[in-house]
Amino acid sequence: MWNHTPVTEFFLMGIPYTKGLENVLFVLFLAFYLLTLLGNLLILLAILTSSTLHTPMYFFLGNLSVFDIFFPSVGSPQMMLSLMGQSRTISYKGCACQLFFYHFLGCTECFLYTVMAYDRFAAICHPLRYTVIMNRRVCTVMTLGTWMGSCLHASVLTFLIFKLPYCGPNEVDNFFCDIPVVLPLACADTSVAQTVSFTNVGVVALLCFLLILTSYTRIVISILKISSLEGRRRAFSTCSAHLTSILLFYGPVVLIYLRPASSPWLDSVVQVLNNIVTPSLNPLIYTLRNKDVKLALRNALLRGVHTCGA
């Protein structure tokens, strides 16, 4: 047997082919990151301070905003520090934590979009029974289920990846630790871990997608039965923001985990879109065409200004 020294830290290579663009990328990513934090905090402020938004739809939207605050924080600060010329190394435990929280929060979003699709299904297809179907207890159980299921999912993936020995190269070909870039560095047979981990991710994503598709199929059928054109338009407008967010979420998932060949540059670009750009767009998607959120946010800000003035 060969005497190998276990890896104690990993070196994050960053985004390929971006040498000389560090300052530009730092300013760009920092702007997106701050926009993400500000936008989602404002949505939380509007939902918490307005009694008219204390409904199941906005309860789940508030959960999504919490997710969108934490999700880009998994890898973005480390990436921006490396762009400033700081150390690109991350400890072994730090890498494991990064992978866990990335998949924990990513799976939470996947489950949350599924729950939000069911909420829209109940509201449009069963409007008279909506408050009974989506009562406070059901909403709480669904939310706890998404977080607990995601924790289990991420724990399994993290255990599979980091129970393998790492004793050879320690250069992670990305700006943060994820399965496609960490697993090839293991100095052991990775076939079982690779099969189980990618099957796990694929099954979760596919199952959630099928449930979302089923909900929206029923929704479309119900909307087409509405006689008035204005009623159809209002019903479709309540679902358009959710559908846009779903497309922005599932696009990167398919490109990263469910395609046969891997490209470091494409993976990094898609991860940037998934980690930084999409969370900053969700507040815009959910507020630009939502009069209730805009009105609640305006009232909350006016109350804040009056309080400060007094």
Residue where the block lists tokens 């709480």: 140
Q: For the chain, give every domain's residue range.
A: 9-304
**Token pair belonging to 196:** 């189980």
* CB environment 185-199: b (16+ within 10 A), e (fewer): bbeeebeebbeebbe
Please tell me the CATH superfamily of domain 9-304, with its number. Rhodopsin 7-helix transmembrane proteins (1.20.1070.10)
Q: What is the pLDDT of residue 134?
A: 93
Please list the residues that pair with 89 across neighbouring strands.
11
pLDDT score of 257: 61
Whole-angstrom Cα Rg for the chain: 21
The confidence score (pLDDT) of residue 159 equals 94
Model pTM score = 0.87
Q: What is the pLDDT of residue 139?
A: 93
What's the confidence (pLDDT) of residue 37?
Answer: 92
What CA–CA distance (Å, rounded) separates 13 from 1?
30
84 exposure class (CB count in 10 Å sphere: 0-12, 13-18, 19+): exposed
Tokens of 117: 């699709």
**pLDDT computed for residue 94 by the predictor:** 92
Element housing 172 (H / E):
strand 171-172
How would you write the pLDDT of the chain (310 residues) with one tens digit per residue? 445 668 888 988 888 777 788 889 899 999 999 999 998 998 898 888 888 888 998 999 899 999 989 998 998 888 888 888 777 889 999 999 999 999 999 899 899 999 999 998 998 889 889 999 999 999 999 999 999 999 999 999 999 999 999 987 888 888 888 888 899 898 888 888 888 888 888 888 889 989 998 998 998 888 888 777 777 777 777 777 778 888 888 777 776 665 555 666 667 777 787 888 888 888 888 776 677 888 888 887 787 776 666 5
